[in-house]
Amino acid sequence: MLSEAYQRRYIMLLCLRCSNGDVTLHDDEISFQLRISSEEWAATKTVLLGKKLITEDNRPTAWDKRQYLSDSSAARVAAHRAKKKADKKQVCNVTETPPDTETDTEVKPSLTPAGEDAAPVEPEQELAQAAHAEPAAPVTGLFPMHLEWVPDQVQLKARAAMAGLSLDLFNREAIAGFVIHHEAKGLAKTEREWLAALVNWVKRDAVQAAVRPAAVVSFPGGQRRANGPDFHDPSWRTMTEYDL
């Protein structure tokens, strides 16, 4: 039986495979996405291989066989037309008159709000209307920060460019510090709010690193001592912006 940590990592591996499709995930990339070291992933991979849950190329066992492929609207329309055509051909080949199984009950057509008879809707029309229907909007909402959170690279790149930040600043250490800090607070935000907070977090660190270098003071005899805290620095006022 797998430990809780191995179970969580296996589930995350399934999520990575589901979101990346047929892309080959290398060991270094998986360890980065799971927020673990290369050694921890190597040990995890050995256990999962022993349980025959994954293959050597980090693919879940029998992954392709487990995927359900739903047919498209065009395929359903084509199948319906083929069945209807086959039924008509079968009726034309019948030499005997089939018994009348219908009753004499009159079926009244449905009425429109104006009181007129509504035109019957053919199955093909229903399928065509379903094919042209707008897709449902993706479900979005609040969620608390968790240790497996990975920022969307496309949205992050756009927001970093708007803030004038290089994407290289959003390295593993910066994102890990942000995630650990906010995961402990248990606050819930939307994906866009978390991305905006991450950009502000990295921008704050970059500004503080640029305007507050390590200052030293020389003393007689060659001794050097670091300056004390700068009580005139107003950057502490912006801390509440990132703690909320």
The full set of domain ranges for the chain reads: 4-66, 143-243
When mean pLDDT is compared across 22-31, 48-57, 65-74, 101-110, the lowest value belongs to 101-110
User: Which helix (DSSP H) or strand (DSSP E) does residue 76 occupy?
Assistant: helix 73-92
Q: 119-153, pLDDT tens digit by residue?
A: 565 655 655 564 454 444 443 689 999 999 999 99
Q: From 39, 124, 126, select the one nearest 81 (Cα to Cα).
A: 124
Distance CA 225, CA 208 (A): 21
Between 8 and 222, the more confident residue is: 8
Describe the chain by its helix, strand, coil percentages, rounded to 5: 55, 5, 40
Determine if the pTM surpasses 0.75.
no
- Which residues, 6+ apart, have CB-to-CB distance to 109 below 8 Å? 117, 118, 120
As a whole number of Å, the end-to-end CA separation of the chain is 41
Mean pLDDT of 17-41: 81
Token readout for 167 is 């994407």
CATH of region 143-243: 1.10.8.1180
**Band of the pLDDT at 89, cuts 50, 70, 90?**
confident
